[in-house]
Amino acid sequence: MTAVIIEPDARQKLAILGGEAADEVADAPASNSISEGIAHATGFLYDAKRAGGGTTRLFKVLQTNACRFACRYCFTSCAIRRKRTSFKPDELATTFISLSRRRLAEGLFLSSGIVPDADTTMEKMLGTVERLRLREGYTGYIHLKLIPGASYDMIERAVELADRVSLNLEAPSQERLSLLAPDKEFRESMWRRLVWAWQAIERRRAVGLPCARSITTQFVVGAAGESDRELMATIARARHEIGLGRSYFSAFHPIERSPFSELPAEDPMRAARLYQAEFLLRDYGFSAAELPFDTAGLLPRDVTPKQAWAERNLHEPVEVNRAPRAALLRVPGIGPKSADKLIAARRETRLRDIAQLKALGVTIGWAAPYVLLDGRHPARQLALW
Ligand code: SF4
């Protein structure tokens, strides 16, 4: 394996700042160019899943692990005694470019603790990215975290330089956020910064200037009593108001010596169901209000949200030879790709056999109870499989 040349001091910083950054990553299924769900992690390098298979190796690192905030779920909280250190922008840019030129990292994911204030922190992060883009000529993938409370100019510059920007909302509302992070403010410091990022993206896109392709966010799930309904309602609103792309979910796990060290860890299946519900909002045309919450506002864990929705609502089978795309997307086992293939195929031929559906990518076991093939229920055919 090729040796990575990193100055000794930077190497020590990397062990700390790369390790802590890796702790922050949420797990997620792939769906767009780089989903940033973990396929595999090795210290500060992790393999992000790509749509259509394969992975991209990202270097995930903090500019600093010093932070003046005391978020109760966070390893970097100032309430936890630990060794603190920071990368200077030059140092971090040199470290990353060394990894990149040796093809050990294909992209950068830069986050940071906040110290002494939002703008100073953001300025250092932007300094790192500017050195990469302008001095080193690096044109590869950069995901840059926006710092809550950063000024408009900083947000705009981040949008100019990065491929993706994100700001972790952590919770669906101020009320829930206050339980997780008593020092953080939801509406002005976080939501408004996302609005600014979206406005800057739209303005640059309109005149053909390069800019970040998407905005993402992340939620800590299970430590503030939030319901899935609250999360999905906030995500739906964010999609509408700030063009939110992906949402990531991090099932809470207690951190030693933190104020939440005694709280139970959240069931990872809850995060998995939230991802599936978020797909329904984003790619399947569902509204948040349609999702199959129970009386406590939670999604079922034993079946997918789409299956649960179909069991409650899909009382009439869908004729695959005639149904519009939106109706096909409501059928379990039919996704956006298989719906498009199905619509293309039925222009050429009448669909009469479940083997035809299978060849188009439909998951037969899920779809069969809910579809008609040329007026016939495929249950009898299914029994022969
Ligand atoms: S502001 Fe960020 S780094 Fe600081 S304690 Fe909160 S979550 Fe952790």
Q: What is the pTM of this model?
A: 0.89
Q: Kindly give the distance from the C-alpha atom of residue 159 to the centroid of ligand 1, in angstroms, as a whole number.
A: 21
What is the structure's pLDDT at 212? Answer: 98
What is the structure's pLDDT at 12? Answer: 83
Segments of the chain with pLDDT less than 70: 1-8, 22-43, 51-52, 379-385
Q: How high is the mean pLDDT of the chain?
A: 91
Residue nearest to atom 5 of ligand 1 (CA): 77
pLDDT in tens, 214-237: 999 999 999 999 999 999 999 999
Structural domains in the chain, CATH included, are 8-267+278-283 (3.20.20.70), 317-383 (no CATH)
Which segments within the chain are labelled E, that is strand?
34-42, 45-50, 55-62, 107-111, 141-145, 164-166, 214-221, 247-251, 318-319, 371-372
Q: Kindly give the distance from the C-alpha atom of residue 2 to the centroid of ligand 1, in angstroms, as a whole number.
A: 34
Among 63, 68, 69, name the best residue to mutate to test ligand 1's pocket (greatest count of ligand atoms within 8 A of Cβ): 69
What is the structure's pLDDT at 382? Answer: 63
The Cα 338–Cα 280 span in angstroms is 15
What is the structure's pLDDT at 379? Answer: 63
What is the structure's pLDDT at 146? Answer: 98
Q: Kindly give the distance from the C-alpha atom of residue 298 to the centroid of ligand 1, in angstroms, as a whole number.
A: 27
Distant-in-sequence, close-in-space partners of 203: CB < 8 Å, separation ≥ 6: none
